[in-house]
Structures are given as structure tokens and as C-alpha cells.
A = this chain, B = another copy of it.
Amino acid sequence: MSVDVGTELPSQSFPVTRASLVRYAGASGDFNPIHWNERFAREVGLPNVIAHGMFTMAEAVRVVTDWLGDPGRLEAYSVRFTRPVPVPDDDAGTVIEVSGKVTELLDDARAKVMLTATHEGQKILGNAVAIVRLP
């Protein structure tokens, strides 16, 4: 794998549906109704049901782990949740778009990757950084 500062990872789009969130609620144990109950979400001032931040974070990093071919090569990962992802009530749901770029080569064949995740053209994760061991 030839990697340099500036190397771009293959971008990916990830669908997010209400069904994704019901599944993620069970998988994560986070049953906050803002993630599955539109009435409740609107009552507390949200525009709609919103995706779990950790779900969005997990989806986004697939760009990195798919690129590496091995999730074990992800050494560290951090993001700021800057904007929620509202999920409409239909089968198509919505989509998040994720791209990544190598911004620094580190010691021990490691690299720093910055991710950009957007929803409808707006950034949803801030300062999304993955530290990886290169193959």
C-alpha cells in the first residue's frame, strides 16, 4: 500500500433508515426515543428522529477500515458531533457521505487520517481523526 500525505481514501455513501436506528438501539442499548419516536423527537425540539451519534461515527469510519481491509488496524478514532442527522420515515431514509485523506505519516508505519462526513451537504462530524497502522 503506497500511502503519502494527501492520499485520498475511496469515498463512500451510507444509507441511514429508521430501521437502522431501531437496530442500533438494540445493539447499543441506547433506547433514547429521540432515535426512534418522531413525536417525541419533535416535542423536544428536534427536526425529526435523529441518528445516534455513535452510529454515525461508526458508519463514517468504515471508509477507513474498508480502505485498510482490517478493522484491527484502527488504533484510535475521535470525532466531535457537530450536527444531528435527521432520518425521515420512509424506506429510503437518508444518506451520509464520507471521504478521508491522509494528513500525516507517523512513526511505526502509522498514519493520521482526517475524515469528512456530510449530510445534505453539511458537515456532521468535526475534527474526525483516525490513527491507523498501515499494511
Contact = CB atoms under 8 A, between A and B. Distances in A.
Interface of A: 18-19, 22-23, 25-27, 31, 33, 36-37, 39, 89
A22 B39 contact: no
B39 A19 contact: no
Nearest to A89: B39
A31 B19 CA distance: 8
Nearest to A35: B22
A18 to B, nearest CB: 6
B23 A37 contact: no
Nearest to A23: B31
A31 B39 contact: no
16 contacts: A18-B33, A18-B36, A18-B37, A19-B31, A19-B33, A22-B22, A22-B25, A22-B26, A22-B31, A23-B25, A23-B26, A23-B31, A26-B26, A36-B36, A37-B89, A39-B89
| Chain A to chain B: the 10 pairs with minimum beta-carbon distance, closest first | A26-B26, A22-B36, A39-B89, A22-B22, A22-B25, A23-B31, A25-B26, A22-B31, A19-B31, A18-B37
A93 to B, nearest CB: 12
A22 B28 CA distance: 12
